[in-house]
Structure 1
Amino acid sequence: MRFGKAVAPKGDRPGKSRTGTPRGWRHRILAVGAAALVLPIAAGAAPTAFAAPLSAPALRAPAGGYEELMVPSQMGPVKVQVQWAKHGGSAALYLLDGMAARDDKNAWSFETNAMQQFENDNVTLVMPVGGMSSFYTDWMAPSNINGQKTTYKWETFLTEELPNFLAGYGVSKTNNGIVGLSMSGSAALSLAALHRDQFKYAGSFSGALNLSQPGMREAVRMSMLRWGAFSADSLAPPWSPQWLRMDPFTVAPQLKGLPMRISVGSGLPGKHDSPQSADQVFNTGVGMGIEAVTLISTRSFEKRLRSIGIPATFDFPATGTHSWKYWEDQLWAGRPQILSALGA
């Protein structure tokens, strides 16, 4: 697991000239002067990283492989699972977790075969860890009912802190896609709308895409209590414009020209539903109900886009509940469009 920023390759580190001969006396004087500037810093707090020389080559993303990074943020260090682009390309696809996001792994990495889907493609998968019930937005305050210590600042992390950090590995800050499911389906579209300079593709699977329609804020409030006992009022007060800002239905005009894939099932059990116990039957029933609600919301969003002349790829399978294997299928179906949009 890496902390801090990537450094330049060993061949570019100071010490010898490009010909391999020792540097002259003038270089030694400069080195002593540089050391004198560094020592006062070392006497205080050690810096986390040193800036690369202006002459250093641009860093490239590692060619393939998997890594876990700890990324500094206002929320403290955030774990990010990364599968590097196969050939060291700079494009990246952000995969956001759902309402029940865990603190150890992003569910895309173990509930689906997302990593296998893209392992031979020239795009880096970026899977932030954490964010239960966060809607991946910047909150007003820590949750006031579950003892949360820090204020969620997920929009800032995903659009400033994380891309700036990944740029040190050669990952582009302007050629990214973003995909979410359920809670993060709405987040993926709203973040893409608000940060068009960063995202070139967006996908929402079973997302609530009209948070302003009657009953949706109440549903959000109940869901946040169910997963982690988080307070919706700490996200934003009921009268706050933040609710409109994080609503894809409201920011839809800003999605013009953005390739998108938006899908939701009917709520009827399908090929990935085979409950074998009472608990599984109950969970399937819950998944049916949630998918039915998101279907209504997504259909409403479809009409919204059509009314303002914005095309998108919509998929409404005849079956499918609110569960990971259906979202895995949708990611695979969207893969060609993702690679095309990112030039990967």
Structure 2
Amino acid sequence: MCISRPQTPNRLLQRLLTVTASLLACVMLAGISGQATAGAAPLAHRAPWGGYEEVWVPSEMGPIKVQIQWASRGGNAALYLLDGLRARNDRNAWTFETNALDQFRNDNVTLVMPVGGESSFYTDWMAPSNFNGQQTTYKWETFLTRDLPNYLETRGVSRHNNGVLGLSMGGSAAMTLAAHHRDQFKFAGSLSGYLNLSAPGMREAIRVSMLDAGRYNVDSMWGPPWSPLWLRNDPFVVAPQLAGLSLYVYAASGLPGPFDQPNAPIEYFNTATGMGLEALALANTRAFEFKLNSLGIPATFSFPAHGTHSWPYWSAELWKARPQILNTLNAW
């Protein structure tokens, strides 16, 4: 028969201290273990909730300014808006020639508007232009598909849930970028883009246009007219690679419409120029439509009876494309 002995106060105190130390050690180990798990887990970046920001993103061309309107509720989708042939170095024209920011302000998609790239076709050039003293070689495709998504990913924007839309030069680029970078873009849109660069006279027309817009030498871009780079950057040629993408394609007739109200000589001149440019874009886009139809690739086409090559029409067309963009990127 065992008889328990009464414990002395010293032994009770010693046991109490032992139990307390053991409990404290368990709590500390649990805390340390929890911190290690949290530290080992990958950081979860979230895009800012709404608001506008201008940032500078490193590139092979030097720092590039990018204007950004963040998704209204921190979503991971982005829409790249590309400028035209006469892109400026201070602002992307979508931010001041249109109401694009207002159109998407309450939507869960980030608008990404790179600044610069005059006459670049947003492609990687072979060399600096030797007609205007250009100091660096354009590397816009590398920037838009590597450097910029690398930066945006640190701010919570997905590398794979993006759309790209442009006008004129930017429309051509949007299609070729989407064709060559299917992992990045789910949607591509062209507004008055030149989508059949292999058509007779198009390469010569581009050469003249680029000389007029900054004295750029097209041979520094894609080489002579027989270079394979011309084919790589022709939406008509790379059309088979667009299968499965959500596509929106617009070109008007070139006839003056509701946004054409010239009153001064310069305005009449600009309207006439816009008529010719849009008629050429329409011919290119109709050929592109035929090519997609022959391949069985569906797209949304918009061919209004009136409209010239000018910003008010592109702003209105962006609004029409908006539901398709938001549906594709799940960004309502």
TM-score relative to the length of structure 1? 0.85
Deviation at 1:240, TM superposition (A): 1.8
Q: Match for residue 84 of structure 1?
A: 70
- SS, match of residue 54 in structure 2: strand
- 1:272 and 1:64 mapped to 2: Cα distance? 31
Q: Match for residue 98 of structure 1?
A: 84
- Any stretches of 5+ residues in structure 2 without a counterpart? 1-26
Deviation at 1:57, TM superposition (A): 2.9
| Alignment-mate amino acid for residue 194 of structure 1 | H
Structure with larger Rg: 2
Q: Match for residue 198 of structure 2?
A: 212
- Any stretches of 5+ residues in structure 1 without a counterpart? 1-18, 28-52
Q: Match for residue 276 of structure 2?
A: 289
Q: Match for residue 299 of structure 1?
A: 286
- The question of 1:111 aligning with 2:73 is answered no
- The question of 1:246 aligning with 2:217 is answered no
| Alignment-mate amino acid for residue 154 of structure 2 | G
- SS, match of residue 177 in structure 1: strand
Post-superposition Cα deviations, 1:145-174, rounded to whole Å, max 9, x if no partner, equal: 100000000000000110011100000000
- 1:196 and 1:54 mapped to 2: Cα distance? 32
- SS, match of residue 63 in structure 1: coil
| Alignment-mate amino acid for residue 339 of structure 1 | L
Q: Match for residue 266 of structure 1?
A: 253
- 2:143 and 2:257 mapped to 1: Cα distance? 37
- SS, match of residue 116 in structure 2: coil
Post-superposition Cα deviations, 1:252-306, rounded to whole Å, max 9, x if no partner, equal: 0010011111000100000100111100100000000000011101000000001
Deviation at 1:54, TM superposition (A): 4.6
Deviation at 1:187, TM superposition (A): 0.4
| Alignment-mate amino acid for residue 160 of structure 1 | R
Count of aligned pairs: 298
Judging changes above 3 Å, is the alpha-carbon distance between structure 1 residues 60 and 234 closer, same or farther for their aligned structure 2 residues? same
- 1:240 and 1:161 mapped to 2: Cα distance? 27
- SS, match of residue 202 in structure 1: strand
- 1:321 and 1:160 mapped to 2: Cα distance? 34
Q: Match for residue 106 of structure 2?
A: 120
- 1:153 and 1:57 mapped to 2: Cα distance? 30
- SS, match of residue 269 in structure 1: coil
- 2:75 and 2:65 mapped to 1: Cα distance? 22
- SS, match of residue 208 in structure 1: coil
- The question of 1:201 aligning with 2:209 is answered no
Q: Match for residue 14 of structure 2?
A: none
Q: Match for residue 50 of structure 1?
A: none
Aligned runs of 1:1-344 on 2, under 5 Å? Answer: 54-55=40-41, 57-238=43-224, 239-344=226-331
- SS, match of residue 121 in structure 1: coil
Deviation at 1:55, TM superposition (A): 3.3
Post-superposition Cα deviations, 1:223-275, rounded to whole Å, max 9, x if no partner, equal: 10010100000002123211111110000001001111100010000010011
- 1:185 and 1:156 mapped to 2: Cα distance? 18
- 1:241 and 1:171 mapped to 2: Cα distance? 34
TM-score relative to the length of structure 2? 0.88
- SS, match of residue 131 in structure 1: coil
Structure 1 outlier segments of 4+, above 6 Å: none
- 2:165 and 2:174 mapped to 1: Cα distance? 6
Question: Percent of pairs identical after alignment?
Answer: 66
Cα RMSD after superposing both structures: 1.7
